[in-house]
Amino acid sequence: MCGLAGVARREPRRGGVSVEMLDRMAAALRHRGPDGSGRYADARVGLAHVRLSIIDVAGGAQPLGNEDGSVLIVYNGEVYNYLEMRAELIAAGHQFRTRCDTEVLVHAYEQWGTAMLERLNGQFAFAIYDRRKSQVFLARDRFGVRPLFYSCSGGDLWFASEAKALFASGEVEAALDPIGLDQVFTFWAARPPRTVFRDVASLEPGCYAIWQDGTLRQGRYYELDYPEAREEANDALPTLDGLLDSSVALRLRSDVPVGGYLSGGLDSSISCALAARGSPFSLRTFSITFDDPQLDEGEFQQLVARELQSCHYIRAIGPHDVASVFPDVVRHAETPLVRTAPAPMYLLARLAREHDIKVVLTGEGSDELFLGYDLFKETALRQFCLRQPGSQVRPRLFDRLYPYLDPRGRRGDFWRRSFLEAGSPDDPLFSHLPRFLLTSRIKEFYSADLRAAIGEHDALGELRDNLPSRFTTWSALNRAAYLEMVTLLSPYLLSSQGDRMSLAHGVEARYPFLDTRVFEFAARLPTSSKLRGLKEKAILRRWARDVVPPAVQQRPKQPYRAPDVPAFFTAAPPEYVAEVLDEANLARTGLFEPAAVSGLVRRCRAGTALGFRESQALVAIISTELWQRYFLGEGVEAALPAGSQS
């Protein structure tokens, strides 16, 4: 895994693109690629690259060119079917100098142009510079595993794996986009192409962009679709078996040992079990445990590790650990957060790296593909109840949701009504309205100036207006799955909690469930194969019977959570906590209402802020203040209405 950066000038410059600027951009990405770096510059285009060597460790330095150097690439990621594509390209007459997948992309571009994207199975972001056409071609994988940011101004283009490299150019300003911030406090992340930085865009998953003569045009090569079958095919289980086997086998292609993240849940246990079978190396597995027994899954991790006979490493995490790394977490995530959950992932990646592992398999994607989250059950139940509004019995099923929230199960009709009144089934966002509305309660802490800067923008309305045309043809559960993929998986789980946390320590995460073939298999299944009654991931559990221990195979989904309020209100919290929550600081930065935040702090100190509503607000406020401190300094005022900072 690596980091890439570059610039393309509308007009050639005497002396060419500044190599010093390229070096600054590369330096900002050094954590993504500590094993080497390279750059290319001509009068118009500059490319920079930092490398994490995984395949063809000795070769594969970038930028890498074709036979005559007319096509150059900087690339971050893995194309898992590169050996098959390489054979096809050799048969078509291409000559290879290295064994690495990077060179396959160069020749694939020569052979098929942008249509090459449809052939790639992997997680990638790249920039290809076609010197003959003076054209830069940017692309990103289907599900948004690898990031790619860009900014355009005056016909010039800057691009990079992380926004901080754009700012390191000295030519792209770091400034707040209030609407991007409002999206974070609706969906947990800004929705690509928007980011929390003004004039910095994120290339959407499944999309490409071509810059030529100062103009950037974009296209989409992959759209999520759910062509749901009426019945499960007779060969569904053997098909799933073959796909997961193949997906894991492809993701074990590496010249360095591959490890596994092991949460103790079904998905990571499956990917580790298949990796243990297929890896030529003795598998090393990595887990985090929590002091808080409500969050901890250590027992199941140990069970799986014993079964797999893996070399198992554990990082125990207490509230103080979360708070101590949180500023670094925000700096790497480059966005305000509403959960502390990325912090343990940051520490987990560090643990893997300390044990010389720079590639890990991990289970993300399965819950979205096979309807694992409680949100899907909630959607099904809300629909079920609304079909018979007078039923007194049906709403009682809500009591079986979210068992971890209230072990006493004391909820009653009032709790049930809150679900039934959360939105109409006719609303395209029906499934996600409870979460979006709960998250939006963070906005109650906005300052008047921030409200004014956001103006009439309606985050939910904008999402409704941008749904794909096929959305209405999908079932309610598939609509929910789609919304989960585009609003949470890609911009938050794979980014803030995924790519950014693992590559903060030079660790590449690979996702067997996010193989295109596995996604398309799952999307074709009847939803009843995935959510059967209130049993989530039904087909996956059936398949996993002989793969993981029975206790894990039958175990209900436990959401991954990390300490939030307690992390920042320990006996001796880090100094920054009081600094960023101080009323004078809040008045100066101007994003949140100081008196309201003081009310929240008072309740946190008293131990009475117990629910998501307040814990997410606390995390949001602390992370936003850290984010603005790191990226904007005093620059936040520029995004707010004139004269608002008095």
Shortest distance, CB of residue 460 to other proteins, whole angstroms?
Answer: 14
Q: Smallest distance, Å, CB 222 to other proteins?
A: 36
Binding segment for other proteins among 233-241, 438-446, 540-548, 553-561 (CB under 8 A)? 438-446
Span interacting with other proteins, options 31-39, 125-133, 301-309, 593-601, rule CB under 8 A: 593-601
What is the 8-class DSSP label of residue 328?
H
- Minimum CB separation of residue 561 from other proteins in Å reads 14
149 by DSSP, 3-state: which?
strand
Q: Which helix (H) or strand (E) holds 45?
A: strand 45-51
- Of 58, 87, 610, 638, the one binding other proteins (CB under 8 A) is 610
Dihedral sign computed on CA atoms, order 462, 465, 466, 472 = positive
Euclidean distance between CA atoms 125 and 74, whole angstroms: 9
- Residue range at the interface with other proteins (CB under 8 A); choices 99-107, 264-272, 273-281, 591-599: 591-599
| Contact residue for other proteins among 19, 438, 534, 587 (CB under 8 A) | 438
Instruction: Give the contacts of 633 (CB within 8 A, at least 6 positions apart).
Output: none
Q: For other proteins, give the closer residue by CB, 83 or 438.
A: 438
- Segment 596-599 long-range contacts (CB within 8 Å, at least 24 positions apart): 596/444, 596/445, 597/445, 597/621
The pair of structure tokens assigned to 180 is: 């991007």
CB of 415 to other proteins, least distance (A): 5
* Residue (341 or 422) nearer to other proteins, CB: 422
Nearer to other proteins, 354 or 421 (CB): 421
Q: Which residue lies nearer to other proteins by CB, 272 or 609?
A: 609
Calculate the dihedral angle through the C-alpha atoms of 302, 306, 307, 310, rounding to the nearest 10 degrees.
Answer: 100
Do residues 460 and 187 lie in contact, with contact meaning Cβ atoms separated by under 8 Å?
Answer: no
Q: Of 318, 378, 362, which is closest to residue 344 (Cα–Cα)?
A: 318
Q: Least CB distance from residue 185 to other proteins, whole Å?
A: 13
Burial of 299 (0-12, 13-18, 19+ CB in 10 A): exposed
Catalytic residues: 2
Binding mask 148-187 for other proteins (x = CB under 8 A): ----------------------------------------
| DSSP-derived secondary structure for 288-326 | EEESSTTT--HHHHHHHHHHHT-EEEEEEE-HHHHHHHH
Taking CB under 8 A as the binding criterion, the range among 126-134, 214-222, 235-243, 592-600 that sits at the site for other proteins is 592-600
- The residue range among 127-135, 212-220, 513-521, 596-604 that interacts with other proteins, by the rule CB under 8 A, is 596-604
Q: Report 397-436 residues binding other proteins (CB under 8 A).
A: 405-406, 409-415, 417-419, 421, 434
Q: Which is nearer to other proteins, 358 or 382 (CB)?
A: 382
Q: How many amino acids of this chain bind other proteins (CB under 8 A)?
A: 31
Exposed/middle/buried for 596, CB within 10 Å: 0-12, 13-18, 19+?
A: middle
Q: Is 542 in the site for other proteins (CB under 8 A)?
A: no
Q: Which is nearer to other proteins, 58 or 405 (CB)?
A: 405
Helix (H) or strand (E) holding 332, with range, is helix 319-333
**CA 409 – CA 412 distance, rounded (Å):** 9
> For residues 439-498, which are near other proteins according to CB under 8 A?
441, 444-445
Structure tokens given for 608: 């009475």
Question: Is residue 596 involved in binding other proteins (CB under 8 A)?
Answer: yes
Q: Smallest distance, Å, CB 607 to other proteins? A: 12
Query: In which order are the strands placed within the sheet that holds 2-8?
Result: 36-41, 45-51, 2-8, 156-160, 149-153, 201-202
CA dist 317 and 35 (Å) reads: 29
Q: Which of 600, 618, 632, 636 binds other proteins (CB under 8 A)?
A: 600
Site for other proteins in 611-630 (CB under 8 A): 611-613, 617
Comparing C-alpha atoms, which of 36, 5, 9 is closest to residue 22? 5
583 counts as binding other proteins under rule CB under 8 A: no
Which residues contact other proteins (rule: CB under 8 A)? Answer: 405-406, 409-415, 417-419, 421, 434, 437-438, 441, 444-445, 593, 595-596, 599-600, 603, 608, 610-613, 617
